[in-house]
């Protein structure tokens, strides 16, 4: 897949869905990231991060969205996924903005669809890139296949 600078209408809808999810459930220091994914069959699922007092129990918004998709549809693949961050109340800009997936989420996304597109920041805008471009030398449990 080629890197695309311009987002499609469907990509913008996905960003809007992630933004709506975190705007609805934002809680300072607890829920600050929203995510949305479109499955291969075209269904959209959203998630928000679940922070935890015991930090290692925290779950990213992308994983919550994927879990919701998997419960409803099983392994339907990930066409495109995006995460957005809600600003803290004291931040100058109150815009919800696209953020890159963390390293663990990159592994997760690749594990569930190695052809997934991921919307990532590109300056003040965003672009969609293949997950493989975000994860060189992916971790493997066994020999390469």
Instruction: Name the residues that contact Zn ion, by CB under 5 A.
Output: 60, 102, 105
Q: Which of 13, 24, 62, 107 is catalytic?
A: 62
Pick between residue 37 and residue 60 the one whose CB is nearest to Zn ion: 60
Q: Please report how close the Cβ of residue 35 comes to Zn ion at its closest, in angstroms.
A: 9
Q: Which is nearer to Zn ion, 9 or 19 (CB)?
A: 19
Task: Report the residue number, 50 or 132, with the smaller CB distance to Zn ion.
Answer: 50
107 is catalytic: no
Minimum Å distance from CB 143 to Zn ion? Answer: 27
- Cβ neighbours of 12 (radius 10 Å): 13
Full 3-state SS string of the chain: CCCECCCCHHHHHHHHHHHHHHHHHCECCCECEEEEEEECCCCEEEEECECCCCHHHCECHHHHHHHHHHHHHCCCCEEEEEEEECCCCCCCCCCCEEECCCHHHHHHHHHHCCCCEEEEEECCEEEEEEHHHHCCCCCCCCCCC
Supply the minimum distance, in Å, between the C-beta of residue 81 and Zn ion.
Answer: 11
* Residues labelled as active-site residues: 62
């Amino acid at each position: 897949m080629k890197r695309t600078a311009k987002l499609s209408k469907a990509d913008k809808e996905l960003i809007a869905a992630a933004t709506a999810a975190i705007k609805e459930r934002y809680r300072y220091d607890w829920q600050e990231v929203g995510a949305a994914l479109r499955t291969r069959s075209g269904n959209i699922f959203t998630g928000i991060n679940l922070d935890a007092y015991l930090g290692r129990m925290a779950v990213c918004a992308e994983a919550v969205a994927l879990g919701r998709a998997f419960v409803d549809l099983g392994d339907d693949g990930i066409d495109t996924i995006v995460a957005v961050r809600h600003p803290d109340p004291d931040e100058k800009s109150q815009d919800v903005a696209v953020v890159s997936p963390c390293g663990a989420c990159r592994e997760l996304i690749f594990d569930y669809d190695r052809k997934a597109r991921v919307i990532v920041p590109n300056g003040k805008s965003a672009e969609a890139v293949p997950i493989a471009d975000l994860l060189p030398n992916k971790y493997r449990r066994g020999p390469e296949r």
